[in-house]
Amino acid sequence: MRAGSIGTLTYGSLERHYRVNVVAPAPLTAEVARLRRGDDPLCVVNITTDAARAFPGQIGYGMSKAVLEALLRSTALDLAARGIRVNAVAPGPVQTGWIGEDLIAQVTAIVPMGRVGGPDDIAGAVVCLASHQARWVTGQVLQVAGGHAL
C-alpha cells in the first residue's frame, strides 16, 4: 500500500495533519477577531490545496485541507460584519524542492498551463487577496494551479 492511502491511515497521522491544517489556523483566526481594533480592514488568507476535494494517496492531508476550507467559509460569514475577510489560496503542484525531474515531467503533462508553479505564483495570489483590491472578497478559495484539478 502507498503511504498516505486509506489502507495506511492511522489516528496519529490524521491527528498530525489536523493539528497543522485545522487546529492551528482556527485559533489564529479567532485571535485576529479578538485583537481587532478600530475600523481598519483586516483579512486572513489560509493556504489549502487544489486537491482538497479529492486527493487519492494523501487521504489525511486532503481531508484536513477540506476541513480548513469549511472553516474559512464559516469564519468568513461570522466575521464579515466586523470587516474581517477570510479567504484561502489553493496551490496546485508547486516546486518547493520536493518535486524531482521525473515527477515534473508527469505534472507538466497534466497541468493545462504546461508547468509546475513556483512560490512566487502563490505569494502573488496571497498578496492579491490581502490587498485593498480584494476588499469585497470573502469566503473564497482562489485556485492557483495553472488549470490543474479543474
C-alpha cell at 23: 487546529
79 neighbors 33 (Cβ within 8 angstroms): yes
DSSP per residue over 103-128, as a string?
HHHHHHHHSTTSS-B-HHHHHHHHHH
Measured CA to CA, the distance from residue 113 to residue 19 in angstroms comes to 33
Q: Confirm whether 61 is a catalytic residue.
A: yes
Q: What are phi and psi of 2, to 5 degrees?
A: -75, 135
Which of 60, 61, 116, 126 is flagged as catalytic? 61
Residue 16 phi/psi, 5° resolution? -60, -45
Which residues belong to the active site? Answer: 61
